[in-house]
Structure 1
């Protein structure tokens, strides 16, 4: 997890898993967390819906999303930038 430089909003980097909705993408964020008892790394995956105003991101792209005001019931993230295009 990274912090945005000018605001207190959270910033995540992940991979787009769906772009079928209009102006919305689904981004998968994968993190590894150490289990407190077994001392083994466990992979956690979370999917967030993010606002994509220009419909520029597609499935497989690596993107950076930033927390924002609630745009709809499930959408409170916005696309900040596309880091890498899918091949």
Structure 2
């Protein structure tokens, strides 16, 4: 490996903080609307991501942007990029 290879673009997702699971950890719920391939009806699908929050700044209900990163623990593979909107 003589020359350095460039990294691919990391995945970025936006979701709502569903839980503050521990110190420097949050759970973010990502909701996605897709059209059903056969029937055409719009279907909601959701996924929960375990996210690293270094400064413990995200609160419950906040809309946040997260980015894929190296494994930080047994479940955490994402880190907090920014808080888009605070919960009211």
Matched residues, number: 82
Q: How far has the Cα of 1:20 moved from its partner? A: 3.5
> What does 1:52-67 align with in structure 2 at a 5 Å threshold?
52-67=53-68
Confirm or deny: 8 A CA contact 2:15 2:28 kept in the other structure.
Answer: yes
Question: 2: CA distance between counterparts of 1:57 and 1:73?
Answer: 21
Unaligned runs of 5+ in 1: 1-5
> Please, what TM-score do these two structures have when normalized by structure 2?
0.89
> Please, what TM-score do these two structures have when normalized by structure 1?
0.90
- After TM superposition, what 4+ stretches of structure 1 lie above 4 angstroms from structure 2? none
Question: Counterpart of 1:49?
Answer: 50
RMSD of Structure 2 on Structure 1 (CA): 1.3
Question: Counterpart of 1:39?
Answer: 40
For residues 10-50 of structure 1, the C-alpha deviation after alignment (integer angstroms, 9 at most, x for no partner) is 00010001114110000000001111110111100000000
Question: Counterpart of 1:23?
Answer: 24
Unaligned runs of 5+ in 2: 1-6
